Structure 1
Amino acid sequence: MGEESSNLEHLPSTILATILSKLDIPALCSIASTSKSFKSSVSQILSFLPNFHLPDIAPTADLLLPLLPENPHLQSLKIDCLRLNDSSIGHLVRPSLHEIFLQNCKGFSGKLLLEVGRKCRDLRSLSVGSLAEQRGLEILTSDLEELLCGCTQLESLNLLFDVSMLSHHSFAHIWARASRNLRALEIGYILSAMMTELLSVKVASHQPPYHMQPSTLSTLQKLSLSLDHITDSLVCAISRGLISLTHLDLQDAPLIEPALTDDLTNSGLQQINPQGKLKHLSLVRSQEYTRCYFRQVNDLGVLYMATTCSNLESIRLGGFSRLTDAGFRAILHSCSNLHKLSVSHGTQLTDLVFHDISATSLSLTHASLRWCHLLTNVAIMRLTSNKDLRVLDLRNCRNLGDEVLRVIVGLSKLKILLLDSSDISDLGFSYLGHNLYSLISLSIRNCKRLTDRCISSIFGGTFGRSLQVLDLSNLPNLTDNGILLLAKSGVQIVELRMRECPHIGDTSVMALASMQVEGPWCGSSLRVLDLYDSGGITKLSFRWFKKPYFPRLRWLGVTGCLNRDLVDALARNRPFLHVACGGEELWTGYWDLSDDFCWREHEEIDELEQWLLEGEYEGGESEEEEG
């Protein structure tokens, strides 16, 4: 880049500033690491950038300070706040902001909401995750009240934390002062009774005639809630109060089986969408804590619901154990505009549900059928008559075998294929050959029959050349030889998971560290590498996790008990590397999550870390950076 950067340096300052202002923060830091003059230019640019998005790095307060100078033009702020606390609130919260997206706010108290309400009067969108999760921190109802009263222009609000500890009565009434422009609301966890009471609150009109009117939440178009349990009362309150709703997403995870009077039944299901405006509906009972289902709902309730939900474009149903093919077929045949279908724990779903799907006008782009144990290859053969499928999620459908891979060859637009715990073998991957060249994400976790040969089939044909996300976890017959084949392919894998693979060891780590990918990048392209409980990993591997190897790695999963001292030393060597040792699933934390996975190929990560770690940012006194 030396000659190119030299030419750019001779551009007029106004033109150079215009060019630099179009780049995101990682790209600017990449440019700044190439020369002192660019470093100075970037420092100036940071004073008038409209957007500050730092998605992959969790900076400390000291490192954030020079990156966020005084900037009256700043409108959008997106930061991982894992290493920040209340002392940074004054630096983050600014009157000019229209959009704030803060994740991992464990070290912040409710004061963060308070200050946002006081200072960000023109705020349009706010998302706060994991607020006050550290011991000793609290959120007061008055903090949320200040936010709702102060941000009168708010259009989207995501409170991705537990609000159930707030006073129920006060919580309900403060929402009467929420922005009249509020269109989207998401709450990380709330009690069903709290939400029902909130939606039942009426507010007095200030215009003649002075009668009671619905809460301002009646303007909501999108509502997403994680609850203790979904009830008829809640669904009825939503249907009566939120007359403009187009998106409804309700999920619960009961600790015990709900009582009949405190659960969703056919009666509640029939109350959904009385206005006929819903486009997207999601009702899911998670099996996170115990095997609980919607046992009071059967086909009759779904048949009634289908008559009022014919305009749905996507539907997700999880935990409806009494629904049979008749209920699901009613949805498929009534919702002619349906593009996305998701069913999980459909214990009575069989191949008959798709028996005549080709006779419908459906054009599905996303299909997810998780934990549907009665489905066989026949069902998927019929489902693939939808040639526009881009996402196919068949995780934990254990009766699916090699024929599934044979029939999906014709899905030329398929981008994401998830086959966890299916009965496929190496033979199935040989069917794919040079097809599925659009595939970018593949998961074959817990497919016990697969061996190293499947790696050869994946990367020997065309379809593996575009892969960016690959999950090979819990494959008992996968060895270092398979990973050597992957490394030799030169494919730009971004996320690689190999959890609980007993024969994966140090050789695989060395091969991946030495991997030279195709394209403009140097070194491994991996950003996520999960090796938790892989049997052959020893102390030797930790040498390869240090610089300069894996320059773009941001998330690493290892077994902490392997050697805690080595893990701690690695954290000191690479402070911006997220090292997970407890077996938790790694996630990239992409800010713009969409159904179609998208990877920004231009991003250069290592230079960002280099620039952040330099002792001087503006003075130009530091030594010249390497390369």
Structure 2
Amino acid sequence: MGRTIDVLHLEELLSGCTHLETLILMFDVSIFLHQNFALVWALASWKLTSLEIGYISSVMVAELLSPAAGPSQSSNHCSTILPNLQKLCLSVDYITDIMVSTISKCLASLTHLDLRDSPIMEPRMAFDLTNNGLQQINAHGKLKHLCLVRSQEIAPVYFKRVNDLGILLMADKCSAMESICLGGFCQVTDTGYKTILHSCSRLCRLKVFYGTHLTDLVFHDIIATSLSLTHVGLRWCNLLTNLAVARLVSNGELSVLDLRDCRNLGDDALQAISTLAKLRSLLMDGCDISDVGLSYVGKGLMSRSLVSLSLRGCKRLTDRCISSLFDGHTILELRELDLSNLPNLSDAGVLLLAKSRIPISALRLRQCPLIGDTSVMALASMQIDENVWHGSSLRLLDIYNCGGITQLAFRWLKKPYFPRLKWLGVTGSVNRDVVDALARSRPYVHVATRGEELGTDQWDDLDGIYLQDYEEVDELEQWLLGGDNMSDEEMEDGADVADLFE
């Protein structure tokens, strides 16, 4: 789509929308000529407070905010473009000192800054972020949310020119910060992270990617701070142990906890987490937990509030983990469950899940070799209400690359089964004709066949518990409203299937 859009379209958009408050450009804007791209933003509404761009070069960012500046003064001169912008989210080629400095100086009303890059190679000094750049952040003192992430998606590249001193200089200007996300800072140690915890007294959200030097010591005396953390993410922090989690849960207000890929966390961590009475979302992908550890979840205080649980890649889990979670129907609020990449989870475990009658909306079982047709049949037969059969409550089902799925399963993915379904992940390379026919017969269902993830990453959207927008009308609603008539045969199938697993 980006190739069909030029700077004239952008000019028409900005000049025509005089009351525009939020703008999201989800494409590569580097296709525009740099000079024209910068100048056209003078037409933007003064009411524009939020801007998100899918991809833009760091050079274009500087030119956008200071189009009238000469080459020697681009980082010091600021125009009145976007004078009231409060939120800026950019994916760039490189996060640099010049770009950060320009943003900080030119956007006087900025409260939310989200910058992410994913370099293909180690950047040179002029195209990198250093301690000096961090020192420029929050020049106007209004910043509440800061996100600086160097992704590892393309190559293992880090912010190697930032150390504890840079974090100290940043924290000194960001004491009123409420949300901080740092990713790829491989030279920052416990000293730097503790500085954030002890300097930013209003901090309620902390996320760290690839904290290669982050250890338990960061949280050793967290109880002595005045922090009231509600959202914490510590992903790919492999030096953390159960002791860190035991200290962290002293923040009893925690509602979202992301500990994915922390390989040394185990059952003792789950036992500590189970004491959190307000926890809504827990992500433990790749952790060293067992069925016994999950029994703490089912019996703990968190069982009354937990809505989303992800256990992807926890290799020690077996079918017993389902019994540990759902015996006694203790986790009544659970709506999202990720059991992907579990080599020991079989159809027997999914059958137990179906019998629990928990109204789950999103279930991910991708890459489970022992999951097959029986699981699909059981989920299709899942009855929530004893008196009325309206089929499974699932709106998202991901069974991509499950080992036992055959053409038989696709019969159970047709109408009237899964009437609420909006998103379906299956393997498209096998039985291509069957998959295509299914997609045509269920126009309200988005069928993904190439292994793409369904839904957004909770790391990127910790405000929302649900990963998908389910506001669109589904097949069941169409049927109940009389807009989609089921055949008599389909209605009889629906009535019979409710009794299959009684």
Q: TM-score, normalised by structure 1?
A: 0.73
Q: 1:47 maps to what in 2?
A: none
Structure 1 position 605, deviation (Å)? 2.5
- Give the corresponding residue for 2:36: 170
Corresponding position of 2:314:
447
- Asked whether 1:228 is paired with 2:107, we answer no
CA shift digits 1:203-235 (9 cap, x unpaired)? 9xxxxxxxx972221321111101111000100
- Return the index of the structure with the highest Cα Rg: 1
Residue 416 (1) aligns with residue 281 (2): yes
Between the aligned partners of 2:483 and 2:382, the Cα distance in structure 1 is: 27
Instruction: Return closer, same or farther for 1:213/1:280 CA change in 2, 3 Å cut-off.
Output: closer
Residue aligning to 2:113? 248
Cα separation, 1, equivalents of 2:15 and 2:393: 46
For residue 338 of structure 2, the aligned residue among 453, 457, 471 is: 471
Cα separation, partners in 2 of 1:615 and 1:406, compared to 1, 3 Å: closer
1:201 corresponds to which residue?
67
141, 145, 161: which one aligns with 2:27: 161
| Aligned-partner Cα distance in 2 for 1:183–1:476 | 47
CA distance in 2, matches of 1:448, 1:150: 55
TM alignment of 1:393-408, pairs within 5 A = 393-408=258-273
- Asked whether the 8 Å contact 1:394–1:418 carries over to 2, the reply is yes
Spell out the pairing of 1:425-464 with structure 2 (5 A cutoff): 425-435=290-300, 436=302, 437-464=304-331
Of 406, 409, 417, the match for 1:541: 409
The residue aligned with 2:418 is 550
Distance 2:165 2:483 in 1: 65
Separation in 2 of the partners of 1:320 and 1:139? 36
Aligned to 1:484: 351
Aligned to 1:320, what secondary structure does the other structure show? coil
Give the CA deviation at 1:407: 0.5
Amino acid at match of 2:194: R
- 2:127 is equivalent to residue 262 of structure 1: yes
The offset of 1:614, in angstroms, is: 5.9
Query: What does residue 427 of structure 2 align with?
Result: 559
Specify the SS of the correspondent of 1:251: strand
| 1:586 aligns with one of 446, 451, 454 | 454
Query: What is the deviation of 1:461?
Result: 4.3
Note the aligned Cα RMSD (angstroms): 2.6
Structure 1 residues 400-427: Cα deviation after superposition (integer angstroms, max 9, x where no partner): 0000111012100000000000000111
Structure 1 residues 329 and 154 mapped into 2: Cα distance closer, same or farther (>3 Å)? Answer: same
Q: 1:603 to 1:574 in 2, by over 3 A?
A: closer
What is the match of residue 577 of structure 1? Answer: 445
2:242 matched residue in structure 1: 377
- In structure 2, relative to structure 1, the CA distance for the partners of 1:443 and 1:402 (3 Å cut) is same
Whole-angstrom distance in 2 between the partners of 1:466 and 1:504: 25
- Offset of residue 465 of structure 1: 2.0
Normalised TM-score (structure 2): 0.90
1:501 corresponding residue in structure 2: 368
Contact 2:112/2:144 (CA < 8 Å) preserved in 1?
A: yes
- 1:527 paired to 2:395: yes
Q: CA deviation at 1:584?
A: 0.8
Structure 1 pair 366/507, CA: closer, same or farther in 2 (3 Å)? same
Tell me the amino acid that sits aligned with residue 378 of structure 1.
L
Distance between the aligned counterparts of 2:473 and 2:102, measured in 1?
49
C-alpha displacement at 1:289, in angstroms? 0.6
Contact 1:443/1:472 (<8 A) preserved: yes
What is the identity, as a one-letter code, of the residue corresponding to 1:527?
Answer: R
Offset at 1:587? 1.3
**Does the aligned pair in 1 maintain the 2:329–2:356 contact within 8 Å?**
no
* CA deviation string 1:267-301 (max 9, x = no partner): 00000001111100000011111111111100000
Counterparts of 1:257-296 in structure 2, within 5 Å, are 257-296=122-161
| Mapped contact 2:78–2:105 kept (Cα < 8 A) | no
Displacement of 1:576 in angstroms is 2.3
Amino acid of the structure 2 residue aligned with 1:494: S
Q: Matched residue of 1:429: which SS?
A: helix
Distance in 2 of aligned mates of 1:220 and 1:396: 36
Contact 1:141 1:171 in 2 (8 A): yes
Contact in 2 for aligned 1:528/1:588 (Cα 8 Å): no
- Cross-structure match for 1:335: 200
**One-letter amino acid of the counterpart of residue 556, structure 1:** L
Letter in 2 for 1:479: S
CA 1:372–1:461: 2 relative to 1, 3 Å: farther
1:439/1:463 contact within 8 Å kept = no
Q: Distance in 2 between matches of 1:358 and 1:213?
A: 43
Note the C-alpha offset of 1:603. 8.6
Give 2:283's aligned amino acid. L
The size of the alignment, in residue pairs, is: 477
How far apart in 2 are the matches of 1:571 and 1:346?
A: 42
- For 2:452, give the aligned amino acid: E
Aligned-residue offset at 1:569: 1.1
Cα deviation for residue 464 of structure 1 reads 2.4
What displacement does 1:589 show? 11
Give the structure 2 partner of residue 391 of structure 1.
Answer: 256
Q: Deviations over 1:524-544 (max 9, x none)?
A: 001111111110111110000
Instruction: Find the aligned partners of 2:86 and 2:202 in 1 and give their Cα distance.
Output: 19
SS at match of 1:270: helix
Cα distance in 2 for partners of 1:324, 1:318 equals 13
Q: Looking at both structures, which has the greater relative contact order when contacts are Cα pairs under 8 Å and sequence separation is at least 6?
A: 1
* Structure 1 residue matching 2:331: 3-state secondary structure: helix
Instruction: State whether residues 151 and 179 of structure 1, in contact with CA within 8 Å, keep that contact through their aligned partners in structure 2.
Output: yes
State yes or no: 1:605 paired with 2:470.
no
Give the SS at the match of 2:83.
helix
Distance 1:257 1:405, change over 3 A: same
5 Å-filtered alignment, 1:76-155, equals 132=1, 137-155=3-21
**2:81 corresponds to which of 216, 230, 234:** 216
Task: Give the partner amino acid of 1:570.
Answer: L
Cα separation, partners in 2 of 1:569 and 1:383, compared to 1, 3 Å: same
Task: Judge conservation of contact 2:400–2:425 (CA < 8 Å) in 1.
Answer: yes
1:518/1:323 CA distance change after superposition, 3 Å:
farther
Question: Aligned equivalents of 2:469 and 2:211: distance in 1?
Answer: 36
The question of whether the paired residues in 1 share the 8 Å contact of 2:78 and 2:106 is answered with no
SS in 2 for 1:537: coil
C-alpha deviation, 1:606, in angstroms: 1.8
Question: Residue type matched to 1:606 in 2?
Answer: E
* CA 1:286–1:589: 2 relative to 1, 3 Å: closer
Deviation at residue 609 of structure 1 after TM alignment = 4.7
Q: Distance in 1 between matches of 2:236 and 2:221?
A: 22
- Report the CA distance between 1:243 and its aligned residue: 1.1
1:67 matched residue in structure 2: none
Q: Distance between the aligned counterparts of 2:129 and 2:456, measured in 1?
A: 34
Seq. identity, %: 60
Q: Secondary structure at the match of 2:367?
A: coil
- What secondary structure does 1:152 align onto? coil
CA contact (8 A) 1:282 1:317 kept: yes
Aligned residue type for 1:553: L
State how far apart, in whole Å, the 2-side matches of 1:263 and 1:390 are.
Answer: 35
The alpha-carbon deviation at position 160 of structure 1 amounts to: 1.7
1:56-67 maps to which residues of 2 (within 5 A)? Answer: none
Could you tell me whether the CA contact under 8 Å between 1:433 and 1:463 is conserved in 2? yes
Residue aligned with 1:248, SS: strand
Q: Give distance in 2, aligned partners of 1:191 and 1:288.
A: 18
SS in structure 1 at match of 2:30: coil
